[in-house]
Structure 1
Amino acid sequence: MNYNKRSYRDLVRSQCQINPCVTGLAEHLGRGPGAASTIVSLDYPQSRHPAPIPLTITEADLAKLIHTTSTIHGRILLVENIQPHLISLLGENLDVDPVFFAGHITTDFKDIEKAPPPPSLALFPSQIAERGYLHLHYQQVLDLGSANQFRSSSYSLKSDSNVPRNVRRLPHLSGRQLALARACCSILVKKLKGSWICLILVDPAVKTVIETLHSGDRKAYPSMLLHGGFEDFVQSASFTSFTSIATNRSWDKKSILSSLIHYFRNQPPGFSASEPRILSFGYYPIRIVLAEWILYTHLMSRFFKYYEYTLHDIENRLHDSDIIDLQRWRRRSMQSEHKLILLSEFVDYWLPQEVDKQPWNLILKDIKHVLSQLEHYNRSLEHMVPVATSMVQLLDSRRWVLEAANVSRLTFIALVFVPLSWVASLFSMSENYSPGHTNFWVYFATAFPVLFLVLLLSAVKWDRVAGKLKEVAPLLSQQVRR
């Protein structure tokens, strides 16, 4: 057997036996080519003032560019919407552990009986941290437009990208249809012959979400980031600098690729072009992801307000589907906490190597702040779910009372017509008592007293009659003895 002809896909297949969490990567590599990937190189030249030079490159020049690092300290490779064959190319040329690509490709939490868990769940936080692979998992809030077009749409949607991400449709708010899209930014640093390469994988902007219909057809909906995306975390320019410097600081915030190119124009804290560390490369991506998490917590707060029911509007607002949504939010909150804990563990593991620890202490405080918000909402969910369940039961009880009242009306109607029909059937045995004959008046003379007697007996409260009889029975027995 010629071992030199083995491919990166063969490595992934063999790795599945040792690490089942890379099974999703093996399946992904078997897919055909998708949309074109965007590759941007940020080179750090060997000069006194190293400044990154962004350069968009083609897939054909990628392999050659990886090994051309003699004139630079290092290079950041930003890959957006990575294709399967690019994973094989990068994996073979950079000798990348398949677990890194698996952590970026597999982000959905399938049932354990259907597929192995992804690396973020299969591995311990300490294992993930010591491998040196930084995976930033987060949620993006999407605005899908008017809610009228989603009346009968599915809850589960997908992003239109080479790595389809889960998009979950939320209950509409104020006539707007919002959704949550999973996203991931992955960072890897490799040393190559006196230089370095930092590989950063990012998802493309979610401009279209896909719904798979029961017939197998696909339906597309346009989407955009809610309110234009995350908040800029860099200090705003003063009015003096705004009027004196004719520069345009705006960029395409819908794309994390464009955002990272914008931020990497300036060196992150603790960055050294000659000896960079993974935390310095992760500074700007972490800041962007934390800004997305802040928007996510505000969305949770808004939905908690939506689910605060009162007895006044319980009949108009509360439905069984709301209980399901609350359960989803609780599960979603637990998964979000897990993602942030992984990030916190990663920063703690690599923090001792940093000379300037102040920026990272602030980031740890920000992570702690977001975690405290999620924990608070998770506790609120624990209390809200049983309350909402009790309200649904109360609503069902009210409906049962109304149905019981309707049954009482039907019983009363039956009490009226049953005596009349019984008497009618009795007199139908003789033609002299049928309508139009001389003895027809006997029917009314008999039916009405019987009807009156039946209604009277139905109106009697027999429990009170039984009580009276029990009281009178001793007196009657005494009189009998006398």
Structure 2
Amino acid sequence: MNDRNRSYRDFVKSRCQINPCLAGLADYLGCGLKAASTTVILDYPRSGQSVPHFLTAAETDLSKLIDDTSTIYGRVLLVENIQPHLISLLGEILDVDPIFFASHVTTDFKDIEKAPAPPSLALFPSQIAERGYLHLHYQQVLDLGSADVFEFSSYSLKTDSNIPRNVRRLPHPSGRQLALARACCSVLVKKVNSSWICLVLVDPPSEMVVETLGAGGRKSYPSMLLHGGFEGFVQSTSFASFGSVASNHSPDKKSILSSLLHCFRNQPPGFTIAEPSILSFGYYPMRIALAEWMLYTHLMSRYFKYYEYALHDIENRLHDSDIIDLQRWRRRSMQSQHKVILLSEFINYWLQHEADKQPWNLVLRDIKHVLSQLEHYNRSIEHMLPVATSMVTLLDSRRSMREAANVSRLTFIALVFVPLSWVASLFSMSDTYSPGQKNFWMYFATALPVLFLVLLLSAVRWDQVARNLKRVEAVSKWQLGRSKTEATLA
């Protein structure tokens, strides 16, 4: 095949022999048509204007992405809900390492015997940091509405986007069905001729989650971010400027793209228009991801409180499924710590190139706070799991004891009625012993002693009788031996 006819997908397939973690990207590039992506371009002109120009771009115009950049310092391309064709186009134009796209596309870890691990797990943290690709993996808390709708739904759901992200349903302690959805924001900065280009990939708003049914069917549920999304981190306006038109403009927080466009109106810390760093472009996405992690830690606190109450009321609230949920939270907490540690390693690696380290020290302190919360809840899970397991075992023992008591009652009833029915069947062979006849009194004269004998024999502790017989036998043997000894001495 001629090199000119080789596609970016062919390049990815060839790289799979060296990096198996690219297999998920190769499969995604082979998918058919997907929903249209949303692309926005921010140009930083050489005229000295600090505020970038906002432009919308179609996929056909992106082929000229690196053309005519002599009038600008650089260009930021934000892509929401990227589709396979656009990955191939940008990969060929910008000569992007497939590891960057693979880390954004492949975020779930399937069984190792079925698929290789994603790049975030297959590569060392040092390898991820030195490549200069910033990938922010975080969890979004979704509100799916009333829990009654999901009574018979599956635990695993997916987002309705070009790159389906995993959505996991959570127990509903208060009648609301909450879920955790994975999300990713990826940032890449490349030098092109005398300018630079920053590529930012974000996920679309999670307005719909999908459940896979049998025979290829699907069922969709509307979703929204819990309480409107993460807490804002930009400086708020004062009351004096509340009535102005500019102050009333606020981003749509359910869309990461809208939030980033609002943030990029102001230059991030450490930003130099001539040669910006990867950290400066990653500042606002980092803040958004950390805000989502803060909401995630509050959610963990709520569910641990729920499980603590379940342990206090084991008869009515604790179930075997709680043990499974706690194990899921433990695995989820370990994965969350890994994602936050990757972000910390990335900042520490590139911090040495920053002149002003103060903003990043604050970000590192916030990361340390999130990590401490995750570690605290992970330790709580480790302590809670053995207690919950013991409680469930105790609850099963109580059930077994109650069932044994019921069996004892049935046995006692059988002991009462079996002798009576046996004597009745014995006397039924002659009509003179039927009720009202002259020999009817003989039934009671026979049945009651038999009943008394059966109850007496059932009350005897035969194990104790066996031990007593063995003891008597041992004493007899000892006395017999002593008698023989005395006779010999005499």
Per the normalisation by structure 2, the TM-score is 0.93
Match of 1:439 in 2: 439
Structure 1 residue identity aligned to 2:340: L
Cα offset, 1:67, TM superposition: 2.2
Kept in 1: contact 2:80–2:257 (CA 8 A)? yes
> For residues 35 and 171 of structure 1, what CA distance do their matches in structure 2 show?
32
SS at 1:304 equivalent:
helix
**Cα distance in structure 1, aligned partners of 2:49 and 2:78:** 22
Letter in structure 2 aligned against 1:424: A
Partner of 2:486 in structure 1?
none
2:460 & 2:47 partners in 1: Cα distance? 105
1:229-253 per-residue CA deviation (whole Å, 9 max, x = no partner) reads 0111112222223356753231110
Quick one: distance in 1 between partners of 2:471 and 2:349?
85
Query: Are 2:87 and 1:87 aligned?
Result: yes
Question: Residue deviations 1:355-392, cap 9 Å, x none?
Answer: 11100011011111100110111111110001000000
CA distance in 2 between counterparts of 1:173 and 1:398 reads: 25
Taking a change above 3 Å as real, the CA distance of residues 311 and 382 of structure 1, as seen in their structure-2 partners, is: closer
C-alpha displacement of 1:56: 1.3
Range with bigger deviation, 41-50 or 458-467: 458-467
The question of whether the paired residues in 1 share the 8 Å contact of 2:242 and 2:248 is answered with no
> Is contact 2:229-2:253 (8 Å) kept?
yes
After TM superposition, the structure 1 = structure 2 runs for residues 9-28 of structure 1, keeping only pairs within 5 Å, are: 9-28=9-28
Distance 1:219 1:188, change over 3 A: same
Gaps of 5+ in 2: 484-490
Post-superposition offset of 1:66: 3.5
**Partner of 1:239 in structure 2?**
239
Please say if residues 70 and 195 of structure 2, whose CA atoms lie closer than 8 Å, have aligned partners that are also in contact.
Answer: yes
CA distance in 2 between counterparts of 1:292 and 1:279 reads: 19
Q: Give the aligned partner of residue 174 of structure 2.
A: 174
Matches within 5 A, 1:208-357: 208-243=208-243, 246-309=246-309, 313-357=313-357
Cross-structure match for 2:488: none
Quickly say closer, same or farther: Cα 1:244–1:35, change in 2 above 3 A: closer
User: CA shift at 1:438, angstroms?
Assistant: 4.6
Alpha-carbon offset, residue 432 of structure 1: 4.2
Residues 272-321 of structure 1 show CA distances to partners (whole Å, capped at 9, x for unaligned) of 11111111000000000000000000000111101104665211111111
SS at the partner of 2:315?
helix
Q: CA deviation at 1:445?
A: 2.4
Aligned to 1:50: 50
| Matches of 1:11 and 1:354, distance apart in 2 | 34
Matched, 1:202 2:202: yes
Judged with a 3 Å threshold, the aligned counterparts in structure 2 of structure 1 residues 394 and 40 are, in CA distance, closer, same or farther, namely same
**1:33 equivalent in structure 2:** 33
CA deviation after TM superposition for structure 1 residue 3, in Å:
1.5
Cα 1:287–1:467 shift into 2, 3 Å: same
TM-score by length of 1: 0.94
Cα deviation, residue 449, structure 1: 2.2
Where does residue 141 of structure 2 map in the other structure?
141
Please list the CA deviations of residues 123-179 of structure 1 after superposition, one character each: whole Å capped at 9, or x if unmatched. Answer: 000000111110000000000001010111100000000000000000013110000
Task: Tell me, in whole angstroms, the C-alpha distance in 2 between the residues paired with 1:284 and 1:312.
Answer: 43
Alignment of 1:366-381 (within 5 A): 366-381=366-381
What amino acid does structure 2 have at the position aligned with 1:184?
C
SS of 1:60's partner is: helix
The secondary structure found in structure 2 opposite 1:316 is coil
Give the 3-state SS of the residue equivalent to 1:34 in structure 2.
coil
Q: Would the alpha carbon gap of residues 97 and 440 (structure 1) be closer, same or farther in structure 2, given more than 3 Å must change?
A: same
Distance 2:128 2:423 in 1: 87
Looking at structure 2, the residues matched to 24 and 468 of structure 1 have their Cα atoms a distance apart, in angstroms, of 75
CA–CA distance in structure 2, aligned partners of residues 130 and 453 of structure 1? 89
**SS of residue matched to 2:157:** strand
Counterpart of 1:450, as a letter, is V
Runs of 5+ unmatched residues, structure 1? none
**2: distance between equivalents of 1:49 and 1:34?**
37
- SS in structure 1 opposite 2:234? coil
User: Post-superposition shift, 1:468?
Assistant: 9.1
For residue 198 of structure 1, report the CA deviation from its aligned partner: 0.3
Q: % of aligned pairs identical?
A: 78
CA distance in 2, matches of 1:156, 1:449: 67
Task: Report the Cα distance in structure 1 between the residues aligned to 2:242 and 2:248, rounded to whole angstroms.
Answer: 10
Say which SS state the counterpart of residue 242 (structure 2) adopts.
helix
The CA distance in 1 between the partners of 2:58 and 2:173, in whole Å, is 43
> What is residue 117 of structure 1 aligned with on the other side?
117
Secondary structure of residue in 1 paired with 2:17: helix
Which whole-Å deviations, capped at 9, do the CAs of 1:38-79 have from their partners, x for residues lacking one? 000011111222211111111111112342322111110000
Residues 388 and 16 (structure 1 numbering): CA distance in 2 closer, same or farther, change over 3 Å?
same
SS in 1 for 2:60: coil
| CA distance in structure 2 between the aligned counterparts of 1:132 and 1:244, rounded to whole angstroms | 41
| CA 1:245–1:255: 2 relative to 1, 3 Å | closer
**Deviation readout 1:419-462 (Å, 9 max, x if unpaired):** 01221333344454455655344223211221123223434556
Residue 439 of structure 1 aligns to a residue whose secondary structure is coil
For residues 469 and 211 of structure 1, the distance between their equivalents in structure 2, rounded to whole angstroms, comes to 69
Q: 1:431 to 1:466 in 2, by over 3 A?
A: same
The structural deviation recorded for 1:23 is: 0.1
- Distance, in Å, in 2 between the alignment partners of 1:457 and 1:130 is 84
User: One-letter code of the match for 1:334?
Assistant: M
Counterpart residue number, 1:70: 70
In 2: Cα distance, 1:348 partner to 1:321 partner: 41
- For 2:467 and 2:180, the matched residues in 1 are separated by 66
Aligned residue in 1 for 2:403: 403
Q: CA deviation at 1:464?
A: 7.4
Counterpart of 2:233, as a letter, is F
Tell me if the contact between 2:237 and 2:247 (Cα under 8 Å) persists in the aligned partners: no
Query: What is the identity, as a one-letter code, of the residue corresponding to 1:375?
Result: E
Tell me the amino acid that sits aligned with residue 403 of structure 1. Answer: E
In structure 2, the residue matched to 1:162 is 162
